[in-house]
Structure 1
Amino acid sequence: MTKPLVTILDDEPEIRNMLSEALEEAGYRTASFARATEFEASLKTSSPEVCLVDLGLPDKDGLALVHRLALESGASIIIISGRAQVQDKITGLELGADDYIIKPFDPSEVVARVRARMRSVKPVGRTSDTAIFSGWTANFETYLLIDDEGAEVPFSHAEGEVLRLFLNNPKRLISRVQMQESLGGAAGESFDRAMDVRISRLRTKLREDPKNPQLIKTIYGAGYIFLGDVVWS
Structure 2
Amino acid sequence: MTHSDSRAHVAILDDEPEIRRMLSDTLEEAGFRTSCYARATEFEAALKRTAPDVCLVDLGLPDRDGLALVHRLALESGAAIIIISGRAQVQDRVTGLELGADDYIIKPFDPAEVVARIRARLRKGRPETDRAAQTARFAGWTAHFDRYLLVNETGEEVAFSHAEGEVLRLFLESPKRLISRAQMQESLGGAAGDSFDRAMDVRISRLRTKLGEDPKNPRLIKTIYGAGYIFLGDVSWD
Question: What's the TM-score once normalised by structure 2's chain length?
Answer: 0.68
In the alignment, which residue of structure 2 is the partner of 1:173? 178
In the alignment, which residue of structure 2 is the partner of 1:221? 226
Q: Is the 8 A contact 1:175 1:222 kept in 2?
A: yes
2:149 corresponds to 1:144: yes
Choose the corresponding residue for 1:96, options 78, 90, 95.
78
Instruction: Name stretches of at least 5 consecutive residues in structure 1 with no aligned partner.
Output: 33-45
In the alignment, which residue of structure 1 is the partner of 2:56? 79
**What letter is aligned with 1:30?**
L
In the alignment, which residue of structure 2 is the partner of 1:30? 27
Which secondary structure state, in structure 2, belongs to the residue aligned with residue 78 of structure 1? strand
- What pairs with 1:30-69 in structure 2 (closer than 5 Å)? 30-31=27-28, 48=32, 57-58=38-39, 61-69=42-50
Which secondary structure state, in structure 2, belongs to the residue aligned with residue 132 of structure 1? strand
**Deviation of 1:59 (Å):** 9.2
Matched residues, number: 202
In the alignment, which residue of structure 1 is the partner of 2:194? 189
Which secondary structure state, in structure 2, belongs to the residue aligned with residue 200 of structure 1? helix
Distance in 2, matches of 1:48 and 1:151, equals 26
**Deviation of 1:215 (Å):** 0.9
Q: Is the 8 A contact 1:66 1:77 kept in 2?
A: no
Percent of aligned positions with the same letter in both sequences?
57
Choose the corresponding residue for 1:212, options 213, 217, 223.
217
**Deviation of 1:194 (Å):** 2.0
**Deviation of 1:63 (Å):** 2.4
Q: CA RMSD in A?
A: 3.5
Q: Is the 8 A contact 1:63 1:95 kept in 2?
A: no
**Deviation of 1:156 (Å):** 2.4
Distance in 1, matches of 2:9 and 2:73, equals 22
